[in-house]
Each structure stands twice: as C-alpha cells, then as structure tokens.
Amino acid sequence: MLARTMVSLGRWATRLPAPVRRLLRVLAGALADRSAPGAEDWSTALVGDGPVADLRRLPRVAPPLSEPAVSVPGLRVVVLTSVLDVGGLDEFVALLSRGLAARDAVVEIVIALDPVGWAGRLAETLTGEGFAVRTASRSTLGELLTAADPDVVSIHDAPGWAVAEVARLGVPQIEVLHGAGATFDADPAVLAERVTHLDGVVGVSELVRRQFLAVAPGFAPERAWTIPNGAWSRAQPPVVREQARAALRLDDEFLFVSLARHALQKNGYGLVAAFDEVAAAHPEVHLVIAGRVDSKRYFAQVARLARASAFADRIHLRDHTPDPVALMAAADCFVLDSFFEGWSLATTEAMTSGLPVVLSDVAGAREQLALPAGGEPAGILVGNPGGDLEVSWESVSAARFRRQPNHDELVAALTRMVVERDVWAARRDRMAAEASRRFDPQRCLDRHAEVLQQAASAARATG
C-alpha cells in the first residue's frame, strides 16, 4: 500500500516545489523499483490462459533483396556504440555493420562501457555471424583502437570519453544522431566539446539535423547530412499471418502492436490511457506494447494504469518479442505515441510489413507518412503528446502522467483503424510493396558508406 501511495504521489509531483519534487522522485523511484512487476514474457497467449506457440518456429518467407550500389573495398571502419541489445539504435548498428561488410569494408564493432559489462543480445548475435565485437573501458579503448587501426569511426550514442579518445588518436569520426535526445537539454559546454571532435554528423531525419545545428551553431552545415533510416521488407503471405494469430490464440480480435521500449520517451502511459477509451467501445481490441524495460520506475506507473483498467486483460505489457516479424504479421495496426524520435526503425519495419500505422508527430513521422504521388495513405498522424515538436525533458516530464494534448486525437485515430479494419486490410499488400520500395535500406547504407569513405579520404589528404 505504501509503495502504491508513493508511486501515485509521483504523478502529481510537478505541482510541488522543486525540493519536494526531488524528494518524492527518490522515494517513489526506490519503492517502484522494488515493487513493480516486470514485463510479461512470451510464454502465454494474448487470449485465454494457454501457452503461446514458439513464434520463432513459424515459417518465414524471405523478401527479395536489392543490391548495393556503392562499394568501399578495404575501408577499415570501427562502429562505436555504448550497448548492442534490442533497441532501434542497436538494430541500426547491426544493419549498418552488415551493410558495410557487404560493401567490402573491414568492420569491427566496439562497445564502450566503463566499467565493462554485458554487451547485449545483438552483440551475441553479431559475434555468431563472425563480426569482431569487443567491449572497451576508458583504460582499454585506446589500445583496442590502435590495434584495429581504423580509417574512420562511426559513432552511435557513444559516451563522451570514447569520442574524446578517438579524437586523441587522430581518427576521423562521423556521429549518427538517432534522435532529439542527443541534443535537447544537453549541457552546452559538454556538447561544445563533443562537437569539436567530430568530422561530421548524420541526422536520421531532417528535423534531427536542424535541431543539432541549432544547438551547435559553429558547426559547418555542409558537414551535417540527413540520411533517413531504411529497413528490409517484413511482408509475409496470409498463411504466416494465420499461423501467427493462431499461435497467439487470436481469432477475430483486433490487435494493436507497439514495438517500443518501456521508457518515458515512448509514452506507454499515454497510449494505455487512450486505448482504455477505445476498448470501452470495442470489445474485440487488444494492445501489445513489447520492448525492453528501460525504466522500472516509469514501467511501474504504466503497469499500475493498465491494472486499474476495466479492460486489463486486453492490455499486454510484454518484454522484447522474440520474433517481431511474426508479431507484425499477426497484428492489425502499429501504433507509436512517442514524445520524440529520430526516425523510428520499428515504424519503418511495420510499414514494410503492410501494417497501417498511427504515429505521433515526431521527427521522421511526416516523412514516413508522406503520400506518394497517386498513392494511398499508409496511416494516420496525430499530434505530439507533449503538444509541441520542440520537446525537452522538462516538458516531457510535466506531460507524462497527465491527460495529454493529443489524447482525443489518438483515441479517434485508433477507433478509425478498428472501424475501417477491412479497408486497411485490403491495402496491406500494396502498402507493404510501396513502403519496401521507399525505405529500401540499400540507399541508406550506400549513403553511409559514401560519407564514411569521404571522411577517411579527407583525413588521408590532409594527414
């Protein structure tokens, strides 16, 4: 009871003086960490109490793959990050590493952790594929980089000390900015120092690029590029959908899926609050939010809201799915109500599977939902849950447990998806084909290879 009371108080903390807010956050957070249930695993079905079949054992149809247009033979690239587990950034690091290797680059992946710990699930996968995946601390990174002797380093959310060490060794480095979180609320002095070490940046959307240049006004705009993320097609034939739905014990239910970490950025609380209203009018709807629990404190609030719902049995807060392709095949709509993104890889994958999407207005969302000439809409854009694209941690924190500005709009969009279920289902194959054409990852990977080759060549020319 005490834990529940303290967590509830945290919802109203933004109305209190700053010292009281800090104290409540410490107390509520500590209690939530101890008392919050973990995300559900994938051992049980979505409907009923029976076990779920192993989604990974379902048949798959591999999509045809396009060919690279760019080759960088012999280019030695270190891909430097801070974790390689199951998030969208992690998936992109894996995609980039594989893409560079396919273009004849020599790729080594380095995970900068101090102290060194578990590198993550994708690190194990890539190691099994034959990639050199290493972890390095402050004391060992320099030696590891010297041994690798890279021509260029590709940076993905690496810590500042790692970026500084790359610069000390005189290796050119290009940072990929995966979201607004890389720049907003950043300490100006820390950001200014980091920027001096970079030979260029890549924003995964034009908004992210503009946000970076706004907080780094001395950075040359010609060294800041926009390269939208791509994703391989996830389209599957009807038989895979049928088998995936049977594995999850779904019959006529309408399944909303959100592949998103359980974290404040992804705004699971706002999504559950909106879904609750949809569920009241449509008894066939279910919601799955599947992802890693990044914040136990935040997850405690979302889980509490879900448990309090009259439709709690239709709200599934799950861990990272073992097979997103099967889950998206089984789903009827993908939804992401984030406060901010860079360019959601999960959204791109959902669109290439043929799912209609409901997206909050974040970086990349408008580009993803842009209507091609003569084409059909692929989803619905709703307002940002914070009320404005220019978010900060302060504004996100203030909005996180309140009725959010886009609430009614989100409820209407989700309801429309249910009411127009047959219309969207009839478009599924066409939407998958169009998204797979627009978001072919080879174009994305070609551009990254070109930027990295350019940085390496410029360094050799001046060195």
**CA separation, residue 435 to residues 22, 367, 374 (Å):** 45, 12, 14
- For residue 32, is pLDDT > 50? no
CA atoms within 13 A on the CB side of 420: 18
Give yes or no for a contact between 94 and 439, defined as CB atoms under 8 angstroms apart: no
- Cβ burial of 463 (10 Å; 0-12, 13-18, 19+) is exposed
Q: pLDDT tens digits, residue range 91-103?
A: 999 999 999 999 9
Q: How far apart are the C-alpha atoms of 49 and 336, rounded to whole Å? A: 27
Q: How far apart are the C-alpha atoms of 387 and 384, rounded to whole Å? A: 5
Give yes or no for a contact between 173 and 152, defined as CB atoms under 8 angstroms apart: yes
The amino acid sitting at 445 is L
Q: pLDDT tens digits, residue range 283-314?
A: 999 999 999 999 999 999 999 999 999 999 99
Please choose, from the candidates 194, 108, 106, 118, the residue with its C-alpha nearest in 3D space to the C-alpha of residue 157: 194
Q: pLDDT tens digits, residue range 133-177?
A: 999 999 999 999 999 999 999 999 999 999 999 999 999 999 999
Domains delineated in the chain: 1-35 (no CATH), 43-57+235-438 (3.40.50.2000), 76-230+441-462 (3.40.50.2000)
pLDDT confidence of residue 3: 35
pTM (2 decimals)? 0.87
Phi, psi at residue 285, to the nearest 5°? Answer: -85, 145
* 108-117, 197-206, 267-276, 446-455: the lowest-pLDDT one: 108-117
Residue 185: pLDDT band (50, 70, 90) is: low
The amino acid sitting at 380 is I
- For residue 2, is pLDDT > 70? no
Q: How far apart are the C-alpha atoms of 121 and 141, rounded to whole Å? A: 21
By residue count, the chain amounts to 463
Q: How far apart are the C-alpha atoms of 7 and 30, rounded to whole Å? A: 10
Q: How far apart are the C-alpha atoms of 97 and 107, rounded to whole Å? A: 7
- For residue 31, is pLDDT > 80? no
The amino acid sitting at 156 is H
List, edge to edge, every strand of the sheet that includes 285-290. 315-318, 285-290, 254-259, 333-336, 357-360, 379-382
What residues have CB less than 8 Å from 324, skipping those under 6 apart?
234, 259, 290, 346, 349
Mean pLDDT estimate for the chain: 90
The amino acid sitting at 305 is L
Residue 27: pLDDT band (50, 70, 90) is: very low
Give the start-end residues of each E strand in 122-244.
132-136, 152-156, 173-177, 200-203, 224-226
Residue 181: pLDDT band (50, 70, 90) is: low
Please choose, from the candidates 78, 9, 53, the residue with its C-alpha nearest in 3D space to the C-alpha of residue 326: 53
Residue 37: pLDDT band (50, 70, 90) is: low
Give yes or no for a contact between 71 and 104, defined as CB atoms under 8 angstroms apart: yes
Mean pLDDT on 31-44: 71
Please choose, from the candidates 295, 296, 306, the residue with its C-alpha nearest in 3D space to the C-alpha of residue 271: 306
What's the sign of the alpha-carbon dihedral 97, 130, 291, 9?
Answer: negative
Termini Cα distance of the chain:
65
Please choose, from the candidates 83, 24, 52, 87, the residue with its C-alpha nearest in 3D space to the C-alpha of residue 320: 87
pLDDT confidence of residue 20: 39
Q: How far apart are the C-alpha atoms of 210 and 425, rounded to whole Å? A: 37
